[in-house]
Amino acid sequence: MAGLLIKNAEVWQRGSADLRVAGGRIAEIGSLSPLAGEAVIDADGGALLPGLHDHHIHLAATAVRRQSIVCGPPEVRSIEQLAERLQAAPGSGWLRGILYHESVGGLPDARALDAICGERPLRIQHRSGRMWLFNSAGLDEVLRHAAAPPGLETDGGRPTGRLFDEDTWLRSALGGSPPDFGEVSRELAAFGVTGMTDMSPANDRGTAAHFAAQQASGNLLQHVLLAGTLALGSGSAKLHLHENALPVFDEVVAFIRAAHGQGRPLASHCTTETELVFTLAALAEAGPLRGDRIEHAGIARDAHIAQMADLGLAVVGQPHFIAERGDQYLTDVEPELVPFLYRQASFLKAGIPLAAGSDAPFGSTDPWAAMRAAMSRRTAGGAMIAEEEALSAEEALSLYLADPNDLTRQRQIEVGASADFCLLNRPWLAARQVMDSSLVRATIIGGDLVHQAPGERFAGI
């Protein structure tokens, strides 16, 4: 790969300098002149940041969500609108609808769906997540690979097209062709994201192979770390707790010991206080390993924070949930617990490494929106949640600059490091007043320019 020279950058935590990239790494920082054949980007004094890392995402689910058609309110309110959407969908093969609600047109059977969409196999998920509606082509397609399960409704022996609570069956009947990551990857690149940690609990070696193939084909631009099952063999071992159905304590302790035995830290999903208390007890019993982390830490009291610091845990939070879900929290969460929601400053004060991730598709993929929320602590409706947890712009940015392999460390722009950058269109002191994705002028991953802002055209690239 040809070399790249970035001129006149305000290099993060170094100041004004030029920077040379060779072989995907930072080769030189200083006052530099272009070599023959070298591409040049004039940063024009803009801040050159280490590329942002999304520390908690579910990429496959996000890609599937992007490729799905919303089939319910407020976007779709009638069968005519539904027909219009389905017929306008680009591509070929399966159509996948989501968020259907019977207010659109009852619970149509396969024939009714054939009337509005008969050509391509179609499945539409009800908003509850517990029902799918198929057209005839869709039924033929799934029943070609698997026998009808008990949850497939019949009418005189013939399936109606309505399927209840059979997602495991459906996955295997569909043969699990994993999604294309291109669209989400480009979207993340436009935000300056150059790496991500995929936290899906079911990640295994098959998932790892799909990620590698997507990277090799150029569809997936970012560096990726996978967390997942014990069978995955590397990365954090993901423990997905649900407080309504907590696993047997001793089994969780055994899971942690098995993960640690593989040299892998634990990543435990803790959105509620119960889940956090359960995890802390299990970790105390199994003994902690450097790199163990709490995902979300949705509710953390001072006593939990002290215990987390003692155990040497890191936290990966979702600052944007305060903006996106805060108004709902203020309705649903006991008022006594509101000050403990998605805390930030208190973790930093206790010396706990704090990073952030989108949790997409459950949260927005835009790290800049999350940084703004981390700084303002404001809900979409304008209410304030635990303002004392607010971070400075630099602290908010640091949530995305942590080294994904060691959250105690901030990545730096230094000779030898991978050439992963987020170039802003102005110096940091001006950018910190804005904190918006419109600041991102270019994104570079491993020395390759993977994103330029609209209208941008760097000479020689």
Q: Which residues contact 161 (CB under 8 A, 6 or more apart)?
A: 108, 109, 110, 111, 113, 133, 134, 135, 136, 138, 139, 153
DSSP letter at 13 equals: T
Stretch that binds Zn ion, among 4-12, 21-29, 278-286, 359-367 (CB under 5 A): 359-367
Q: Report the helix count and the strand count for the chain, using DSSP H and E.
A: 15, 24
How far apart are CB 200 and Zn ion at their closest, in Å? 7
Query: What are the CA-CA distances from residue 362 to residues 61, 86, 202 (Å)?
Result: 9, 24, 17
DSSP 395-438: HHHHHHHEETTEEEEE----TTSB--EEEESS-HHHHTTT-SGG
Stretch that binds Zn ion, among 128-136, 250-258, 351-359, 424-432 (CB under 5 A): 351-359
Q: Does 359 bind Zn ion (CB under 5 A)?
A: yes
Of 362 and 458, which has the nearer Cβ to Zn ion?
Answer: 362
Per-residue x/- mask for Zn ion, residues 233 to 272, rule CB under 5 A? ----------------------------------------
Stretch that binds Zn ion, among 83-91, 260-268, 354-362, 425-433 (CB under 5 A): 354-362
Question: How would you classify residue 457: left for phi > 0, otherwise alpha for psi between -120 and 50, otherwise beta?
Answer: beta
How far apart are CB 196 and Zn ion at their closest, in Å? 12
- Asked if residues 233 and 262 have their Cβ atoms less than 8 Å apart, the reply is yes
Number of residues that bind Zn ion (CB under 5 A): 1
Say whether 134 sits in a helix, a strand or coil.
strand
- Asked if residues 10 and 45 have their Cβ atoms less than 8 Å apart, the reply is yes
Stretch that binds Zn ion, among 92-100, 217-225, 353-361, 412-420 (CB under 5 A): 353-361
How far apart are CB 61 and Zn ion at their closest, in Å? 9
How far apart are CB 437 and Zn ion at their closest, in Å? 22
How far apart are CB 58 and Zn ion at their closest, in Å? 6
Of 61 and 79, which has the nearer Cβ to Zn ion?
Answer: 61
Residue 120 and residue 117: Cα distance in Å, rounded? Answer: 7
How far apart are CB 152 and Zn ion at their closest, in Å? 30
Of 188 and 413, which has the nearer Cβ to Zn ion?
Answer: 188
Residue nearest to Zn ion (CB): 359
Of 114 and 359, which has the nearer Cβ to Zn ion?
Answer: 359
3-state percent helix, strand, coil for the chain, nearest multiple of 5: 35, 25, 40
Of 5 and 57, which has the nearer Cβ to Zn ion?
Answer: 57
Of 68 and 271, which has the nearer Cβ to Zn ion?
Answer: 271
Residue 134 and residue 38: Cα distance in Å, rounded? Answer: 55
Q: Which residues contact 27 (CB under 8 A, 6 or more apart)?
A: 3, 20, 21, 415
Of 18 and 295, which has the nearer Cβ to Zn ion?
Answer: 295
Residue 210 and residue 203: Cα distance in Å, rounded? Answer: 10
Stretch that binds Zn ion, among 148-156, 209-217, 342-350, 355-363 (CB under 5 A): 355-363
Stretch that binds Zn ion, among 32-40, 109-117, 356-364, 382-390 (CB under 5 A): 356-364
Residue 199 and residue 62: Cα distance in Å, rounded? Answer: 12
How far apart are CB 201 and Zn ion at their closest, in Å? 8
Residue 355 and residue 408: Cα distance in Å, rounded? Answer: 9
Q: Does 275 bind Zn ion (CB under 5 A)?
A: no
Q: Does 198 bind Zn ion (CB under 5 A)?
A: no
Of 18 and 359, which has the nearer Cβ to Zn ion?
Answer: 359
Residue 452's DSSP bridge partners are: 442
Of 122 and 241, which has the nearer Cβ to Zn ion?
Answer: 241
Question: Where do contacts with Zn ion occur on this chain (CB under 5 A)?
Answer: 359
